[in-house]
Structure 1
Amino acid sequence: MGRVPDVEVNDAGADASGDAYVGLRDGTANDVQDMRRMGKQQQLQRNFSFLSIFGFSMILMSTWESTLGTAAFGFGNGGTAGLIYVYLGTVVGFSLVIASMAEMASMAPTAGGQYHWISEFAPRSSQKFLSYFIGWLCVLGWQAGTAASCFLAGTEIQGLVILNYDNYSPQRWHGTLLTIAVIALCAIFNTLLAKRLPLIEGVVLVLHVAGFFAILIPLWILAPRSTSTEVWTKVEDAQGWGNKGVASLVGIITPVVSLLGADAATHMSEELKNASKTLPKAMLATGVFNGSLGIIMVITFCYTIGDIDSVLATPTGYPFIQVFYNATMSKAGATAMTSIMTSLSIFCGMTNMATASRQLFAFARDNGVPFSRHFQRVPLGWDIPLNAIFFTVIVSSLLSLINIGSVIAFNQITSLGLCALLSSYIVSISCIALKRIRGEPLLPSHFRMGALGLPINLLSIGFLLLAYVFCFFPPAPKPALDAMNWSVVIYFGVLMFSLVYFVLRGRHTYVGPVEYVRKSA
C-alpha cells in the first residue's frame, strides 16, 4: 500500500514543507497513512516537531553529561588512553546502529519500535515469538534506563552535599531517597506538565548546549593539564583483569551508556508530526551532535583529570565533582558546575520516563504484558498513557533500592538497561539484514541506505554483540558478593517470567503487530 502524496492538502492546512495536515491529533496525511498501514488507532496527540523531538533525543542521550557521570568505569578500566580509544570506536559503532534504526523507523514509525519492526521483518515462522520476547526486553530496558538516569541525578545531589558539608556522613539509603525524589519530580513533568513537554524539551536543549560550554571552558582554563603522552598512551589495568585490552573493553560501559538511546525518539513517533520523514532526520542529527560533544568532553576530561587515583577516591562518589573542585579551588564554583550536570540529569530522567511509558503502552496495546487493558488506557483529556507512567514510577523506585545493598548499584541498574536494549537492537537489525540477504523487498521509506544497507547492518550487529558481552561484566574482578554485577540475574529472570507468561497466556492473547498490518492491508 503506497503513501498518500505529500501534495494532498485538506482544510486543516499544511506545514512549511508542504506536508498535508489532517488535524492536530492525526498529524499529516503521511502519519494517517502510516497508522492505517500498521493497523493502529491514533490515540496520542501529535504535538512534537523536528526541533522538540531533536531536543528530546539530545537530552535523553545526554552524551557529554553521561560521559562525565560514568567516567569512573572507564578510568578504572583502561585509563585515559583506553577510555578515549574505546570511546572513539563506540561512536563509530553507534553511528552505524543509528543509521540502521533510522531506516527502520522511517519504514514503520511506531511507539512499539524494535518489537514492531521484528514482527514485520522477521521470518514469518518466528515473527510472533521473537517480537514478543524483544517487546519484554524493550520494556525492561527503558524501565531500567529511567531508574539509572534518576539514580544518577539523585546521587549527584548527594555528592554535592558531601562536597559542601564536611560533617555529613553519607549513607546509601540517602542516595536512594534522593533518587525517589527525582523520580517523583520527573513524574510531575510527565503528567501534570505533559502537554508542555515539547516546549520544555526545546528549552532544555539550550541548557544542554550552553551547559557544555559552561563546563568545558573552565576546565580548559583553570584545571591542571596532563601531557599528551600521558593522555594518549597510558592504557591501564588497575583492577587486575590481567590484560589491558580486556580492561579497556570492560570500561565500554562509559561510552555505551553515553550513546545509547537512539531508539528513544521512535517510541515518541506517534506524538510526532510527519514521523516517517522527521524521525530519521532527528535520530541521525542526534547521533552526530551528541557524538561530537561526547568526544570533545571525554578528551577534555582526560587532559584535566590530574591524578586519577586520588580523583577516583573522591568522597563525593563522582570524579567529575572532584575535578571541578580541583580546577576552581572553590566549593561554590564546583557546586555551580555540578548543578548544571544535576539539572540535566533530572531532565534526562524525565525524557527516559516518557519513553519507558510509551514503550509499555505500545506493548500493552498488542496484549504483550499482564494487565494490558490497564496499561494501554489513555484517559480522556490527558492524551498520555497515565497508568503506564505510574507503573514506570513504581518500577524505577523499586530498582533504586538496589543501592541500599550494593556499592555498585548504578553499574548493575545501568547494565540491566544496556543489555536489554542492546538485545533489541541486535535482533531487530538482524531481521532487516536477513531480508536484505534473501533479496526480499523492504517497505517504502523516506530514508534508505541503498547498497550500503547490508554492510552497515552487519557491522552494527558485530559491534553490538561485543558491547552486549562486556556490559554484563562487573567493574572489577572481585569475588565479593556486593561487588558482583547481578544485572544478569534480573535480565534472565525477566526472560524466564516472560517465557512462563507466554506459555500460559501470552501465546493466546499476543499475535504481534504484523497481524494488525495484514488485517489493514
Structure 2
Amino acid sequence: MGSVELPVADDRDRARLQQLGYKQELKRGLSVLSNFAFSFSLISVLSGITTTYNTGLRYGGPVSMTLGWLVVAAFNGCVALSMAEICSAYPTSGGLYYWSAKLAGKDWASLASWVTGWFNIVAQWTGTASVDFALAQLIQVIVLLGTGGATGGGYMASKYVVLAIYAAILVLHGLINSLPIERLSWLGKLGVFWNTAGVFVLVVLIPSVAKERASVQFIFTHFNTENGMGIRDRVYIFAMGLLMSQYSLLGYDTSAHMTEETKKADRSGPMGIVTSVALASVFGWLYLVALTSVVTDIPYLLDPGNDAGGYAIAQALYTTFHRRYGSGAGGLVCLGFVAVAVFICGSTNVTSDSRMAYAFSRDGALPFSHAWHRVNKHEVPLNAVWFSVTIAFLIALPSLGSQVAFQAMVSVATTGLYIAYVLPILFRVTTARRSFVPGPFHLGRYSVVAGWVALLTVLFSLPVAYPVAEANFNYTPVAVGGVLLLTVAAWLLHARFWFQGPVANVVVDGG
C-alpha cells in the first residue's frame, strides 16, 4: 500500500492517528459516552444471561452462576484494565492485532499481529452469529408460548424457519449499520438505556410477581449435578457453568475498534472499556440473582417437554406470571423486552465486526482486502458491513444439521475472543515490559500484576458431555484448534512472505 504525504493536522486525534501510521478516513463523531454505549450495548447482560442461562443452570446451577459470575467478573476486570491501558497508547480501529504487532517485538510482530487478528475477527463473526441466532430462537419461543405452548398445540417453528428469521435479523442489522455513525451512536445510547432500565425493572418485577421463590441459600449454594450429560466431577461441572458468565461479559473490545471514530480517543476508548465492564458486572449479577429467585424446579425447566421446549428462563417467567395472574402474558412481555436488548446487541456486534474487518483489510490481511477497507460518502465502511453480515450467516448454517451448533458458536466466540484479548497483554508484560510507553490512561506499578492476572482468564475448551457422542459432541476444541492450525499454516505457506502487520498509509514523522 503506497504512502501519501499529509499535512500535520491541528486536531489532536488526527495527529495521533497519523503518528500511528494511518490517515483519518472514518468520521470522528463519537463522544466518550457514545464510545461507552457501543461496548455496554454489545456486552448487554440482558442478552447474554438470558440466552445462555440454560448452560449455567445445567452445569452447576445457581452456585456456578451467582458465585461464578463474581469470579469471572474479578478476572475479567483485570483483562479490561490491561486492555484499556494498551488502548490508550494505541487508539486505532485495528485494536488487538495492532497492539500485538507493536508489543511483540520486531522479530515476532508480523506473526503476532496475524494470529491475534484472525482470532479476533473469527471470534467476532461467531459472536454476531451466536447473538442473532439466539434472538431467532428467542422469537421462536415467544411465538410458541404465545400460541399455547408445546403442550397446548403452540406453533413450533422448524429449523428452516428459525434460520430464515435469523437471516432477516442479519439483513436488518446490515441496513442499520449502513447509516452514518451519528445515527448509529443513537442506537448505542438506546442500548444503554434499554439494558439499564430493563435490569432495574426486571430485578424488581420478577421476584415481586413470583408466588414461589427460591431461598437465599438455594440461590447462592445449590449445586446442580444432574446435567443429563454424564458429568459428575464437581470442579469440571463448575468450570463448564462459567461459560455463561464469560460469554455474557464479552465484547468490550468494541470501544477499541471505535477509537478512530471517537473524540479524545486515547482517553475515551479506555474509559469506554473500563466503565462498560464495571457496570455490566454489577447489573448482570443483580439480574442473574433476580432470575434465579424464580428457579424452583431445575429438571422441569430444562425438560424439552415443557411448554417452552426446554428454554428454562422462558418457562420460568411464563410460569411465574401464570401462577399469579392466570396468564403468562406478563412473562412474554418480559421476554419481548429482552428480545429488543438482544436485537440492539446484535446490531452493535455488526458495527464492531465491520470496523475490525475494515482495519484488518486496510493492512491487507483479508482475502480481497481492497474491497473491504473502502468507505462510502458518509465515511462508513459499507462493504465491510455486508461482508461481516454474510460471514455471520454462513457460520450459522451448521445449525441445520447439529443440535449443539448454538452452544458451539457461543463457546468459539468466548474462547476465541479471550485468546485475542490476552495475546497483546501477554506481550505487554513480557517482551514490552520495559519499552511500553503508556498513554494518558495507565495503571502505573499495578500494570504488570493486572496483566498476569488477566492471562489466567483463558480456560480450556471442555466437552459438554460424557461419554462424548455425535449428538452432543462439543466442536469448540476442533473449531478453535482449526482456527489456530489454519492461521499458522496460512502464515507459514503464504502470509509470511508478504504480510507485514499494520502498514502505514501516511508518512510517519518520528512515529
Going from structure 1 to structure 2, the CA distance change for 1:473 and 1:229 (only over 3 Å counts) comes to same
Question: What is the deviation of 1:308?
Answer: 1.2
Contact kept in structure 2, 1:436 and 1:454, CA below 8 Å:
no
Answering whether residue 437 of structure 2 is matched by residue 443 of structure 1, we say yes
Deviations 1:382-403 (Å, cap 9, x if unpaired)? 3111111111111111112222
Unpaired runs of at least 5, structure 2? 1-6
How many correspondences in the alignment?
489
In structure 1, the residue matched to 2:346 is 349
The whole-number CA distance in structure 1 between the counterparts of 2:432 and 2:490 is 33
Answering whether residue 283 of structure 2 is matched by residue 293 of structure 1, we say yes
In structure 1, the residue matched to 2:213 is 225
Question: What is the deviation of 1:33?
Answer: 2.4
Deviations 1:99-145 (Å, cap 9, x if unpaired)? 00000000001111111001001122111111111111111011111
Deviations 1:207-250 (Å, cap 9, x if unpaired)? 22111123222211012211122222211222332211210111
Question: What is the deviation of 1:514?
Answer: 7.2
Equivalent residue in structure 2 for 1:48, among 16, 23, 30: 30
Question: What is the deviation of 1:180?
Answer: 1.1
Deviations 1:183-221 (Å, cap 9, x if unpaired)? 111111101465410122222321221111232222110
Answering whether residue 328 of structure 2 is matched by residue 331 of structure 1, we say yes
In the alignment, residue 374 of structure 2 is paired with which amino acid?
A: R
In structure 2, the residue matched to 1:427 is 423
Answering whether residue 375 of structure 2 is matched by residue 378 of structure 1, we say yes
Question: What is the deviation of 1:177?
Answer: 1.5
Question: What is the deviation of 1:449?
Answer: 0.4
Question: What is the deviation of 1:317?
Answer: 4.4
Q: TM-score, normalised by structure 1?
A: 0.89
Answering whether residue 376 of structure 2 is matched by residue 394 of structure 1, we say no
Contact kept in structure 2, 1:216 and 1:297, CA below 8 Å:
yes
After superposing the two structures, state which structure 1 stretch, 266-275 or 56-65, moved more.
Answer: 56-65
Contact kept in structure 1, 2:32 and 2:268, CA below 8 Å:
yes
After superposing the two structures, state which structure 1 stretch, 400-409 or 165-174, moved more.
Answer: 165-174
Question: What is the deviation of 1:320?
Answer: 1.5
In structure 2, the residue matched to 1:13 is none
Question: What is the deviation of 1:372?
Answer: 1.1
In structure 1, the residue matched to 2:355 is 358
Question: What is the deviation of 1:173?
Answer: 2.3
In the alignment, residue 336 of structure 2 is paired with which amino acid?
A: S
Unpaired runs of at least 5, structure 1? 1-21
The whole-number CA distance in structure 1 between the counterparts of 2:464 and 2:120 is 24
Equivalent residues in 2 for 1:198-237 (5 A)?
198-223=185-210, 224-237=212-225
Give SS of 1:65's match. Answer: helix
Give SS of 2:109's match. Answer: helix
Equivalent residue in structure 2 for 1:499, among 470, 478, 488: 488
Answering whether residue 471 of structure 2 is matched by residue 482 of structure 1, we say yes
The structure whose RCO (Cα within 8 Å, separation 6+) is larger is: 2
Contact kept in structure 2, 1:90 and 1:256, CA below 8 Å:
yes
Contact kept in structure 1, 2:319 and 2:328, CA below 8 Å:
no
Deviations 1:242-296 (Å, cap 9, x if unpaired)? 2112101111110001101121110111111110011111211111111100111
Equivalent residues in 2 for 1:74-113 (5 A)?
74-113=56-95
Equivalent residues in 2 for 1:64-213 (5 A)?
64-166=46-148, 167=153, 168-192=155-179, 194-213=181-200
Equivalent residues in 2 for 1:296-307 (5 A)?
296-307=286-297
Question: What is the deviation of 1:298?
Answer: 1.3
In the alignment, residue 364 of structure 1 is paired with which amino acid?
A: S
Q: TM-score, normalised by structure 2?
A: 0.91
Give SS of 2:62's match. Answer: helix
The whole-number CA distance in structure 1 between the counterparts of 2:166 and 2:503 is 39
Give SS of 2:92's match. Answer: coil
Give SS of 2:231's match. Answer: coil
Question: What is the deviation of 1:297?
Answer: 1.2
In structure 2, the residue matched to 1:413 is 409
Report % sequence identity.
26
Contact kept in structure 1, 2:255 and 2:270, CA below 8 Å:
no
After superposing the two structures, state which structure 1 stretch, 93-102 or 72-81, moved more.
Answer: 72-81
Give SS of 1:465's match. Answer: coil
Give SS of 1:304's match. Answer: coil
Contact kept in structure 2, 1:160 and 1:316, CA below 8 Å:
no
Give SS of 2:177's match. Answer: helix
Going from structure 1 to structure 2, the CA distance change for 1:124 and 1:159 (only over 3 Å counts) comes to same
After superposing the two structures, state which structure 1 stretch, 114-123 or 405-414, moved more.
Answer: 405-414
In structure 2, the residue matched to 1:512 is 501
Contact kept in structure 1, 2:92 and 2:256, CA below 8 Å:
yes
In structure 1, the residue matched to 2:242 is 252
In the alignment, residue 361 of structure 1 is paired with which amino acid?
A: Y
The whole-number CA distance in structure 2 between the counterparts of 1:238 and 1:51 is 44
The whole-number CA distance in structure 2 between the counterparts of 1:289 and 1:430 is 26
Task: Supply the RMSD in Å over aligned alpha carbons.
Answer: 2.1
In the alignment, residue 409 of structure 1 is paired with which amino acid?
A: A
After superposing the two structures, state which structure 1 stretch, 479-488 or 158-167, moved more.
Answer: 479-488
In the alignment, residue 410 of structure 2 is paired with which amino acid?
A: T
The whole-number CA distance in structure 1 between the counterparts of 2:39 and 2:62 is 28
The whole-number CA distance in structure 1 between the counterparts of 2:256 and 2:103 is 17
The whole-number CA distance in structure 1 between the counterparts of 2:178 and 2:292 is 40
In the alignment, residue 472 of structure 2 is paired with which amino acid?
A: A
After superposing the two structures, state which structure 1 stretch, 257-266 or 78-87, moved more.
Answer: 78-87
Give SS of 1:510's match. Answer: coil
Going from structure 1 to structure 2, the CA distance change for 1:124 and 1:179 (only over 3 Å counts) comes to same
Question: What is the deviation of 1:338?
Answer: 0.6
Question: What is the deviation of 1:515?
Answer: 6.8
Contact kept in structure 2, 1:120 and 1:514, CA below 8 Å:
no
In structure 2, the residue matched to 1:19 is none
Deviations 1:40-59 (Å, cap 9, x if unpaired)? 01110011111212111111
